[in-house]
Chain A
Amino acid sequence: MAALCSTWVEIEREKLLSNFEVNQHLIEIQSKNQWLNNNNTNKKKRAFNPNLEEVTKQTTFYFENIGPVPQQNIENITQMMKDLSKFKLEKIEKLQIINSAPQSLVTLYAVIEECDQRFNEQEIEEILQIIQTHFPQQAEDEEEGEGEDQVMEE
């Protein structure tokens, strides 16, 4: 108990992390601890830390299902950042573009503050084009899967 009081927050927000980076890190933790393969053969090697196992499982599950993380890699993210650098976007807005990869005009407007005043239509179209070339929209079958789930629950 006493140990819990020893925590001292040195820097609250040292850096921002993209979903992609977090996902990479968690997958690394999972593979180091043998949590990815569920074969009983090497069960002994599995490290025991239920909290960490649970949170890594849930977070990677989230990334698999929501957002563009599955189709991202270091190359296409850096390339997109280079392409977007000609626009005057805030750091936090770029981060949100990486994290959510808005595909439509309305979703881009939601991420970028005062989008209509800062950029003209052509520029906005171009931004969307850049996002689409680097992270193409996923096929629609995902949505169908969601619908099925719902029918089952009802």
Chain B
Amino acid sequence: MFILSRLSDLIRIPPDQFNKEPKKALLNELHKKYSNKIIQNLGFVVSVWDLIKIDDGLLKPGDGGSYIKCIVRVIVFRPFVGEILTGWIDKCTPDGLKIKMAFFDDIFIPKAALFEGCEFSLNDNAWIWNADGAQLYLDVNEKIRFRVEQEIFRNVKPKGPTSIDGTVITNDDDEDNDNENAEKPSSYAILGSCQADGMGLVSWWD
């Protein structure tokens, strides 16, 4: 589920951080830059693991900060295809199931990848698996086990221009903040499946 990746980077330490221990300040800046972020074609970075190498800081003319080249290892969430993961059902839609794993929520199981004989019930707003006469509900907030089938990386465009006071120009600011995930496709998403024995709700099998 989690891997260690080795990155090299050039980090700017702003002058107001010079009072700190250099290693601490660098670690802070690295955490600010990478934690809770997605690196294209690498995965979702949780946090920095350790620092491997720190070069001497360099100065740029006209800039008070110091630039430090470093090699760092980060914890990356990047499940491999075929891995079995467990999460909660976040949403049931006629198109399939959306799964959340608390720290990472862009997981989707399309309806074609659900068990054979699965039906969406509009009344219950849930998927029902008709297994040998028994109706098994795939309800919101249940723990579900699924298999990773595909990983999707998208190149997400940067935000629009900013006005003078530094805020992003959008027509509906509040809405944008609320539905940020729903509106924009995320840059890293996982497609899962739920077809084999042992998959589906955790409570069915244990």
A residues within 8 Å of B by Cβ?
Answer: 3-4, 6-19, 21-22, 25-26, 29, 47, 49, 51-52, 54-56, 58-59, 61-62, 65-67, 92, 96, 99-100, 102-104, 106-107, 109-111, 113, 137, 143, 146, 149-150, 153
The closest CB in chain B to the CB of A18 belongs to B2
Are A66 and B83 in contact (CB-based, < 8 A)? no
Contact between B140 and A153, CB atoms less than 8 A apart: yes
**12 A-B pairs, CB-CB below 8 angstroms?**
A9-B42, A11-B6, A12-B5, A17-B3, A66-B86, A67-B86, A107-B205, A109-B198, A110-B84, A110-B197, A110-B198, A146-B142
Task: Give the interface size class of chain B.
Answer: 35 or more
Report the Cα distance A3→B71, complex, angstroms: 15
Most chain A C-beta atoms within 10 Å of own C-beta, residue among B36, B80, B203: B36
Whether the pair A6, B10 counts as a contact (CB closer than 8 A) is yes
- B131: shortest Cβ distance to chain A, in Å? 13
Residues of B within 8 A of A19 (CB): 1-2
**B interface list, Cβ under 8 A from A:** 1-12, 28, 31-33, 35-37, 39, 42, 46-47, 49, 71, 73, 75, 78, 80, 82-84, 86-87, 101-103, 139-143, 145, 147, 196-199, 203, 205-206
For B6, list chain A residues within 8 Å (CB). 9-11, 14
Residues of A within 8 A of B35 (CB): 49, 51-52, 55
Q: Which of A6, A58, A59, A153 contacts B141 (CB 8 A)?
A: A153
| A67 cross-chain contacts in B, Cβ below 8 A | 86
Tell me if A12 and B42 are in contact (CB < 8 A).
yes
Contact of A25 among B47, B78, B147, B203 (CB under 8 A): B47
Task: List, in ascending order, chain B residues with CB within 8 A of A3's CB.
Answer: 10-12, 33
Q: Which residue of the partner chain, among A26, A66, A103, A150, contacts B206 with CB atoms under 8 Å?
A: A103
CB pair B205–A59 under 8 Å, yes or no, is no
Is there contact, CB below 8 Å, between B143 and A8?
no
Closest partner residue, chain B, to A138 (CB atom): B206
CB of B5 within 8 A of CB of A51, answer no
Interchain nearest-CB distance for A114 vs B (Å): 12
Min C-beta distance of B114 to chain A, whole Å: 16
